[in-house]
Amino acid sequence: MSDDLTRAIAAECDRLGLVIAPEATPRLAAYAASLWSWNERLNLTRHTDVERFVSRDVGDAAAIAPHLARGERVLDVGTGGGVPGVLLAILRPDLRVELSDSVAKKARAVEAIVRESNLTVPVHAGAAQAIVAARPAGAGRFDTLVVRAVAPLAKLLGWFEPLGDSFGRMLVVKGPKWEEERDDARMRGLTRRMTIRRIASWPIRGGDTESVLLEIKPRLESDR
């Protein structure tokens, strides 16, 4: 791990006003170094410099983190190179984070990245729906599924609406077209048992648009 990379990440966080615990910065650097090395062999991320890594990846994880209660069990759906799950594990070590990806070679790569970053984060190769369905109750049940850049809302709800009783909620990062996706999901009848609520937004650095954080939860029986 490069001390220069640690300092560069810390400086970029300061520049953007991201409040990151000092002890987290070297871990962010270790993760970024491993991710970028693996990215030369397997396309895992487009954010291959400090500015984009901090503004997009760390920024998104920092926006999600305040909406997670202490000790929550979290599944990162379609983690790709580990975002946002690995970053949440670094920023919030109290969380019980697990990662999933249906593409086996990506799951193997992120498993190696986690190991090289000296983190203990379980990685699952397979569809997140199957992982969630296998833990409908008990200590292993997921409180929150976090999702970023995986699929339109209609597809996500098609996967997880039937499993609404097997997890607590979803936190989904979306861009400025999220309302169009929500309306499409409604037209398809996929929101009869689920509610979609915007709970946070933040600017996409370098542009004039914003990211939003959507909370998707099962409706109460009385509201269906």
Encode pLDDT of 141-173 as tens digits.
999 999 998 999 999 999 999 999 999 999 999
Burial class of residue 94 (count of CB atoms within 10 Å of its CB; 0-12, 13-18, 19+) = exposed
pLDDT digits (tens, 9 = 90+) for 17-53: 999 999 999 999 999 999 999 999 998 999 999 999 9
Query: Where residue 12 falls among pLDDT bands split at 50, 70, 90?
Result: very high
Domain architecture of the chain: domains with CATH: 3-223 (3.40.50.150)
Q: DSSP state, 32?
A: H
Rg of the chain in Å (alpha carbons): 17
Q: How far apart are CA 58 and CA 193, in angstroms?
A: 32
Model confidence at 206: pLDDT above 90: no
Residue 82, pLDDT score: 96
pTM of the model: 0.94
